[in-house]
Amino acid sequence: MQIHLNYHLKWIEVMSAKNNKIANLKLPNGSNIEFPIHSGTIGPDVIDVKKLYSESDHFTYDPGFTSTGSCKSKITYIDGEKGVLLHRGYKIEDLAENCDFLEVAYLLLNSDLPNPEQKKVFDNKITTHTMIHEQLSMFFRGFRRDAHAMAVMCGVVGALSAFYHDSTDITDPSQRLVASHRLVAKIPTIAAMAYKFSIGQPFIYPRNDLSYSENFLNMMFSVPAEKYEIDPILSKAMDKILILHADHEQNASTSTVRLAGSSGANPFACIAAGIASLWGPAHGGANEAVIHMLNEIQKNGNVYEFIKKAKDPNDPFRLMGFGHRVYKNYDPRATVMKKTADAVLGAVGKEDEPMFILARELEKIALEDDYFVTKKLYPNVDFYSGIILQAMGFPSSLFTVLFAVARTVGWVAQWNEMIEDSEQRIGRPRQLYIGEKQRAFTPLNKRN
């Protein structure tokens, strides 16, 4: 095991974790430091390096945090090698198959699945918080109509803290609970309003007689002038999409929420930070990028050319929807997503949608290609989600917004867990400084 510090820290050995739970680090000056090794309920052990700096004047160096655990958590477990994803111990496949979104939301926010009474109370809580302060609707009108919906989401979700002062005291558990409910309840309303504003249609108010997914579809696609029928296959698919994206351990946006929250920032500001992080194409923007890529391939007509580009180390092109930092196996969410794609495309009469056929062909070619096999690059959750969302009528610019709607409950659950963690401190990583050493200042008129 090597640490990339200039002056060669040398790990002598990580003594067998299972035997005595001690890792031993020998430094160049001959001193020895012992670190405790902790075990979770499942998954790899962790070496606790908290005292490294105070005892040795060294930091660890781990850009991208590929070997760094930032917290303890009871919410989500991923085994990337085996392709396993558990929420509070339950397999994602079982949750997606048997639960509605609010059931999974309850599970993430609490430690167990709700019983029927708890579910009724929770559903009611969320349903009765779906409207947003009327003045917030003015906020949308301040944006250009062609603004990306994620830009609008960052702004409006951050602005919630200016409207809900009675739920920003993070030291008060009851305020945290209300903020959590508000965020989960209002995020679909805000997302639908962002969409309606972009296409110049009137905002549609939430309806308390509908389920979470039905209400979202209604706010997105109905217009006041006519009755909107919600296809149960589509609302069921919406539920699955939301469940599959609800949480995913310490990914970039969740870590952003935790880091923002570690300073004591209010929950609405923290979730806005998460939305900003999710926007990037390497994270939540990937399903939008998949659709752009499939469109390009369709125009070009040659799948193999794109596969070749993806494999070329001198070409920055990557096969979007393939590969994952953690999964080195088929993403279990992608399996459910592919099945859902079949159901949705069937329901909307698009079984022979050329883009779906192309996606399946691309997947088959990549899964048999040595490059993708040896690098363990499998389809991730985003590979099929864009196709489903497009078939349901969502424009591609809204895909990441959908992801944000689903992930809000995960962010909120992780944020709450962080606040309640007695070990929690402000997040403050350090660095390996490679800039100038201290030097003499030259006044402006003396510089060449």
Residues annotated catalytic, as ranges = 324, 382
Q: Tell me if 380 contacts ligand ACO by CB under 6 A.
A: yes
Nearer to ligand ACO, 159 or 278 (CB): 278
Which segment (68-76, 126-134, 177-185, 282-290) binds ligand ACO by CB under 6 A?
282-290
In which region does residue 74 sit, left (phi positive, over 0), alpha (psi from -120 to 50) or beta (all else)? Answer: alpha
In which region does residue 78 sit, left (phi positive, over 0), alpha (psi from -120 to 50) or beta (all else)? Answer: beta
- Nearest residue relative to ligand ACO (C-beta): 323
Q: Is there a contact between 244 and 402 (Cβ–Cβ < 8 Å)?
A: no
Q: Report in angstroms how near the CB of residue 369 gets to ligand ACO at its nearest.
A: 10
Q: Which of residues 17-56 bind ligand ACO (CB under 6 A)?
A: none
Q: Which of residues 132-161 bind ligand ACO (CB under 6 A)?
A: none
Q: Tell me if 381 contacts ligand ACO by CB under 6 A.
A: yes
Q: Say how many C-beta atoms besides its own lie within 10 A of residue 125's C-beta.
A: 18
And the tokens for 87? 């929420």
And the tokens for 428? 């403050």
Cα-Cα end-to-end distance for the chain: 47
Q: Is there a contact between 278 and 154 (Cβ–Cβ < 8 Å)?
A: no
Phi first, then psi, for residue 25 (nearest 5°) are -115, 125
Torsion angle (degrees, nearest 10) of CA 242, 214, 207, 114: -60
Q: Tell me if 274 contacts ligand ACO by CB under 6 A.
A: no
Q: Report in angstroms how near the CB of residue 317 gets to ligand ACO at its nearest.
A: 8
CA atoms within 13 A on the CB side of 380: 25
Q: Is there a contact between 271 and 390 (Cβ–Cβ < 8 Å)?
A: no
Nearer to ligand ACO, 52 or 241 (CB): 241
Task: Please enumerate, as own/partner, the contacts of 1-5 that have beta carbons within 8 Å and a separation of 24 or more.
Answer: 3/60, 3/61, 4/61, 5/58, 5/59, 5/61, 5/432
Nearer to ligand ACO, 9 or 273 (CB): 273
Nearer to ligand ACO, 143 or 371 (CB): 371
Q: Report in angstroms how near the CB of residue 282 gets to ligand ACO at its nearest.
A: 4
Nearer to ligand ACO, 139 or 322 (CB): 322
Among 58, 283, 339, 350, binds ligand ACO (CB under 6 A): 283
Cα torsion angle, 122, 404, 293, 367, sign? negative
**x/- string (CB under 6 A) for ligand ACO, residues 334-373?**
----------------------------------------
Contacts of 77 (CB under 8 A, 6+ apart): 42, 43, 84, 85, 86, 89, 249
Amino acid at 270: C
Q: Report in angstroms how near the CB of residue 397 gets to ligand ACO at its nearest.
A: 17
List residues bridging with 2 in a β-sheet.
Answer: 10
Q: Report in angstroms how near the CB of residue 313 gets to ligand ACO at its nearest.
A: 6
State the residue for tokens 């060449």: 448
Q: Report in angstroms how near the CB of residue 379 gets to ligand ACO at its nearest.
A: 9
Amino acid at 329: N
Q: Report in angstroms how near the CB of residue 247 gets to ligand ACO at its nearest.
A: 11
Q: Report in angstroms how near the CB of residue 106 gets to ligand ACO at its nearest.
A: 23
* Pairwise CA distance, residues 324 & 49, whole Å: 27
And the tokens for 385? 């989600």
Nearer to ligand ACO, 140 or 322 (CB): 322
Nearer to ligand ACO, 221 or 279 (CB): 279
Nearer to ligand ACO, 326 or 345 (CB): 326
Nearer to ligand ACO, 221 or 399 (CB): 399
Among 286, 294, 405, 409, binds ligand ACO (CB under 6 A): 286
**x/- string (CB under 6 A) for ligand ACO, residues 302-331?**
--------x--x----xxxxxxxx------
Q: Report in angstroms how near the CB of residue 330 gets to ligand ACO at its nearest.
A: 13
Q: Tell me if 375 contacts ligand ACO by CB under 6 A.
A: yes
Which segment (70-78, 125-133, 278-286, 392-400) binds ligand ACO by CB under 6 A?
278-286
Supply the DSSP symbol for 89: T
Q: Which of residues 179-208 bind ligand ACO (CB under 6 A)?
A: none
Which segment (109-117, 123-131, 181-189, 279-287) binds ligand ACO by CB under 6 A?
279-287
* Pairwise CA distance, residues 366 & 306, whole Å: 11
Cα torsion angle, 145, 147, 150, 152, sign? negative
Which segment (90-98, 107-115, 377-385, 389-397) binds ligand ACO by CB under 6 A?
377-385
Query: Cα 163–110–97 angle (5° rounding)?
Result: 105
CA 55 to chain centre: 36
Which segment (25-33, 39-47, 208-216, 280-288) binds ligand ACO by CB under 6 A?
280-288
Amino acid at 151: A
Binding site for ligand ACO (CB under 6 A): 282-283, 286, 310, 313, 318-325, 375, 377, 380-382
